[in-house]
Every structure is written in structure tokens, then in C-alpha cells.
Structure 1
Amino acid sequence: MLRWGLVLARLVVGGVWMYAGALKLPHPDTSVTAVRSYQLLPTGLAETVGHVLPMLEIVVGACLVLGLLVRFTGAVSALLQVAFIVGIISVWSRGIAIDCGCFGNGGADPDAFHKYPWEIARDSGLLALSLLLAWRRRTPVALDNLLFPPVARHIDDPERTRGMDDVEASA
């Protein structure tokens, strides 16, 4: 059951990343404005992040949906979620009312203070799923299973393989 839950986690987190990146990609200026609005990065770095972030989101999302390098992309996803949560907490604590820019918008938003708790909760849920994907070895229906088959175990030594069927079944 957990194994298929991991597939669902991959699809949800990957789908969110691909959707967010696809909304930002055609409008790089809006993405740059969103990053600048946080007032955390120097102007040049904010522009670079604003341009690169949509592509990174699409790549991370596609890898998760396809099941490619799941542990690595799960870890990258988790790091991105931590950065976004810290960013939202930062602007909230400094009294800056902006749209998070998560799905293509950005800039001033007078209703932001009412949205921040929801955005933090959403990103925390995605963070939890990302950490789960980074922690688990394999998920069904993943390119990783074709490209990186499981390493053969010591089948000639029953002591070394005792209980391994149970571990593999729960992985």
C-alpha cells in the first residue's frame, strides 16, 4: 500500500512543480518580480533565480512524475520547499504583503497576510511528501527501476538474506 502511496506522492509533487514552472516560464519578468519582492537576494541574483527557477521546477517535476532519480529530485524538491517556506515566513515577519509567486504571480498583494498560513501549510505538506520520496529507495512504475535495477543480493548465503523479502516488500 505504501509503495502505491509513494507513486501518488511522486505524481502530486511532480505535478505541482510542473504546473508552477509552466505558469512562470512564458512570463520571466513576472517570475523575476516575484523573486525580487521577497527582498532577500541582491538584484542580479534575484534576476538569475527568477529566470532559472521555472526551468528547475519543470525538470524536478518531470523527473518525479517519470520516476527518474527519485531520491535526488525528492531531496531537491525538499530543499526548494524549505527555501519557499523560509521566504514566506521572512516576508510575513517583516510585514511585507506580497503574492508568493508560486504559480506565476508576484508583487504586492494586500490580502497576503491571510494567505501566508495557507501557503506555509501547503508547502509544508509538499515538503513532507518530498522528504518521504528522498528517504524511500524505490517506487513502482518508475524509470529508476528500468535504468538502475536492484543490486543482486547474496542468494547463496541465507543468513545474509534473512528477512530481505520483507524489507524489499515494504520498500
Structure 2
Amino acid sequence: MKTALLWLLRLGLGGMFLAAGALKFLDPASFAIEIHNYQLFPQLAPLLAATLPTVEVAVGLALIAGPRPWLRAGALASTLLLLVFTVAVITVVARGVDVTCGCFGEDSGPVTVLTVLRDVVLVAAGVLLFRLAGEPPAGPQAERARPHPG
């Protein structure tokens, strides 16, 4: 069961990060405008628009195809990114700023309370993946790899 959940989280979060990064590559100028519209750190919008898609693709690849140390690092990175995204959408909702999410390119839709709830669930998924990735693998090979007392 844990193995199935681990793979579900790896593929779900990894695929999401791959798709999000790839869609943002298509139009970095529009993505920079969407970042700017959040009114948090508008001077960083060009830098974030240029770098975030690459980071998201790298995290997605680490989650899907990385060996356990890369998986664990990818899970931590995805959780931290999702926390930053969650804080950003919470501030937008709290301030009443009407902004397009930008999460999956220019057709992402507006930021609403549902965006916040979605992001909170994704943060929880990232935390769970990080925990599962830290556990030793199950199965006969894992039993042989563990040192036996005595």
C-alpha cells in the first residue's frame, strides 16, 4: 500500500510540476506579467519568470525518475515551492487582488479560495511524499540490506 501511495504521489506531483514548468516555457513574458500582478515582489517578476519553469521541470523529473536521494530532495523542494505558492495565493485572496493564477500558463484561471484549498492539499501531499521517501524501501531486498543484531 505504501509503495502504491508513494508512486501515486511521485507521478501526481511530478507530472504536475513537469506540466506547469513546460506550459510556462511557452510564454515567459506573459508569465512575468502574471507574477507581477500578484503585487508581492514585482521587481523579481522577470527573474522568476526566467528561472521558475526550469526549477519546476527539474523538481518534476526528480520526483518521477530520481533515485531515492533525488526523490527525497525533490519532495522537499516541491513542498517548499508549494508553500511559497500557497502564501502568495493567500495574500492575493486576503487583499482582494483580482489576478490570474499563472500556475499552468496563461489560461490558469483566477485565484480564489479554491486555489488556496488546492494548494494546501498539494502541500500536504508534498509533506507525505517527503516522509514516505525517507522510509527504507519495502520488500525482500530491503530485509537483506538491514543489519541484523548479533
Name the structure 1 match of 2:24: 24
Length-normalised TM-score, structure 1: 0.75
Name the structure 2 match of 1:3: 3
Matched, 1:60 2:59: yes
The residue identity in structure 2 corresponding to 1:34 is: E
Which structure: larger Rg? 1
Shift of 1:153: 3.4
Shift of 1:151: 9.8
**1:72-123 deviations in whole A, cap 9, x for unaligned?**
111110111111111111111111100110010179x7xx3xx512211221
The residue identity in structure 2 corresponding to 1:7 is: W
Partner SS state of residue 57, structure 1 = helix
Runs of 4+ in 1 over 3 A off after TM superposition: 149-153
Length-normalised TM-score, structure 2: 0.84
The range that moved more, 118-127 or 15-24, is 118-127
Which runs of 5 or more structure 1 residues have no equivalent in the other structure?
141-148, 159-171
Change (3 A) 1:151 1:33: farther
**Contact in 2 for aligned 1:37/1:106 (Cα 8 Å):** no
Matched, 1:124 2:120: yes
Superposition map of 1:1-171 within 5 A: 1-43=1-43, 45-68=44-67, 69-105=70-106, 112=110, 115-136=111-132, 137-138=134-135, 152-155=145-148, 157-158=149-150
Partner SS state of residue 41, structure 2 = coil
What is the alpha-carbon distance in structure 2 between the residues aligned to residue 66 and residue 49 of structure 1? 25
CA RMSD after TM alignment: 2.4
What is the alpha-carbon distance in structure 2 between the residues aligned to residue 150 and residue 47 of structure 1? 50
What is the alpha-carbon distance in structure 2 between the residues aligned to residue 151 and residue 42 of structure 1? 54
What is the alpha-carbon distance in structure 1 between the residues aligned to residue 122 and residue 116 of structure 2? 10
Which runs of 5 or more structure 2 residues have no equivalent in the other structure?
none
Which structure dedicates a bigger proportion of its chain to helix?
Answer: 2
**Contact in 1 for aligned 2:28/2:50 (Cα 8 Å):** yes
